[in-house]
Amino acid sequence: MPPSPTVQPPVSPEWGEGLVVLLAATWVQVLCSAGMLLVPTLAPQIAAAFGVPTGWVGLQVSLLYGVAMLTSLQSAVLARRLGGCRASQLAIALVMGGCALALLGTPLALLATTLMLGLAYGITSPAAAELLSRFTPPERRNLVYSIKQTGVPLGGVLAGLMAPPLAAFWNWQAAFLAVGAASLATLLLLQPRRSRWDVSRDASVRMQRAGSLGVLRRSRAMRWLGATGFCLSAAQLSLLSFAVAYMVEELLLSLVMAGAVVSLVHMGGVSGRLAWGALADRLGASLPVLFGLAAVIAVIFLLLAVLGTVVPSWMTLVLLVMAGATAVGWNGVYLGEVARRCQPGEVGEATAAVLVLTYMGVLVGPALFSLIVWLTGSYSVGFLLPAITGGLAILCLHHCRRASHAAEITTVLR
């Protein structure tokens, strides 16, 4: 039997405190994302220092997300047991520990760093969801979750702007020291808030064998929502993993130019998350926004696959930035919809459950994209994959809505 939901106190009437919670949750997400991206950002220096081929360093991302996926199975229980603030502190401590281990400069240390960063990343979203669900008014839910999710691309921007200059002026260790120091400061700054933010924690909650997946077993609509996350995350990581290679090898842009465009793609993701969250709150519904995003994602990637190398390069680059605003911008509205469907006390658990499927999409999407490129020798053809997953996301959302209607009718008949 799954543990009964913890009855949480009502949303704090002090929205000022809610803003502090939002800023803290977003900053924790930024630090975790930046820590995750340090190795890919500094791949040549890291590979040389650790004595491994550069291609092996790329495998670190897949391993990291795999660890995060497994961690999500129990991270919601951890957030309920420790409290959202303490769980966030634990995530930050893991980032700090991972950065410290990386300084040893050995392959084993790189493995340990990857494991610790994966654990941290798997904890952050359920911990933030546990806090935000109590301090966010329902009419601001989508925008708040979207702002929090901007921490992911902002972490990428931070890593991209900070790590290479530090490595150039000093060494690659300086970037890890900077993130580690910021993590220590954050951990200490969160401590005074812990007694207030973690008032609803329940130390009696126990971990279950299937973890948070019980939410998916109990709710057919949530299963389809999780499948939507799988499809959209596969599209997102397909874009982020291969955009540079596509621009350099097929559009024949310089590496510097391709890097600048990727920064715009990340910024498109930040602005998109804010815009779609605000739109969902204005409409009072997030499901129509998700339908629209999935449709636009499918169309944009289809255009990239068919016309990307035919039309002028500037048009292709505009499509890539638009892809960033949609394929990287859906997460906040998505998590807002997850929170809307939950019973009080289950937000963290439901978030962790759908993130398990989302992380599966992160692992599967780039792998299938690589297979397509290997078979066809074309990145353009590879973009058919996110076009297809965008279409499948529409189908999943349709089944999610039907399952919700069926559940409402069953409840009325009872």
Looking at the domain assignment, is residue 8 inside a domain? no
What's the pTM? 0.77
Least confident stretch, 211-220, 230-239, 398-407: 211-220
User: Are 290 and 334 a contacting pair, CB within 8 Å?
Assistant: yes
CA distance 14 to 264: 36
Provide the pLDDT confidence category of residue 8 given band limits of 50, 70 and 90: very low
CA distance 376 to 371: 9
Residue 222 and residue 369 in one domain = yes
Q: What is the pLDDT of residues 318-351, one digit of tens each?
A: 999 999 999 999 988 998 898 888 776 677 778 8
Residue 223 and residue 283 in one domain = yes
Provide the pLDDT confidence category of residue 57 given band limits of 50, 70 and 90: low
Highest mean pLDDT among 40-54, 139-153, 240-254, 271-285: 271-285
Q: What is the pLDDT of residues 125-147, one digit of tens each?
A: 888 888 888 888 877 878 888 88
User: Are 333 and 282 a contacting pair, CB within 8 Å?
Assistant: no
Looking at the domain assignment, is residue 206 inside a domain? no
pLDDT at site 134: 83
Task: Give the residue from 130, 165, 198 where a domain finishes.
Answer: 198
| Average pLDDT over all residues of the chain | 84
Provide the pLDDT confidence category of residue 10 given band limits of 50, 70 and 90: very low
Looking at the domain assignment, is residue 371 inside a domain? yes
Average of pLDDT values for 177-204?
90
Looking at the domain assignment, is residue 368 inside a domain? yes
Domain at 162, CATH number: 1.20.1250.20
pLDDT at 43 over 50: yes
Least confident stretch, 46-50, 78-82, 103-107: 46-50
Residue 226 and residue 309 in one domain = yes
CA distance 237 to 239: 5
Provide the pLDDT confidence category of residue 414 given band limits of 50, 70 and 90: low
pLDDT at 246 over 90: no
Q: What is the pLDDT of residues 275-318, one digit of tens each?
A: 999 999 899 889 999 999 999 999 999 999 999 888 999 999 99
pLDDT at 111 over 50: yes
Provide the pLDDT confidence category of residue 99 given band limits of 50, 70 and 90: very high
Task: Give the residue from 163, 198, 233 where a domain finishes.
Answer: 198
Task: Give the residue from 139, 170, 198 where a domain finishes.
Answer: 198
**Of the candidates 253, 239, 246, the residue with the CA atom closest to the CA atom of residue 379:** 246
Q: What value, to the nearest 5°, has the Cα angle with vertex 281 and ends 332 and 406?
A: 85
Residue 237 and residue 155 in one domain = no
Provide the pLDDT confidence category of residue 411 given band limits of 50, 70 and 90: low
Residue 190 and residue 221 in one domain = no
Residue 189 and residue 221 in one domain = no
- Which residue segment(s) compose the domain that 39 sits in? 13-198
Residue 194 and residue 218 in one domain = no
Looking at the domain assignment, is residue 203 inside a domain? no
pLDDT at 2 over 60: no
pLDDT at site 174: 93
Q: Which residue has the tokens 């039309």?
A: 311
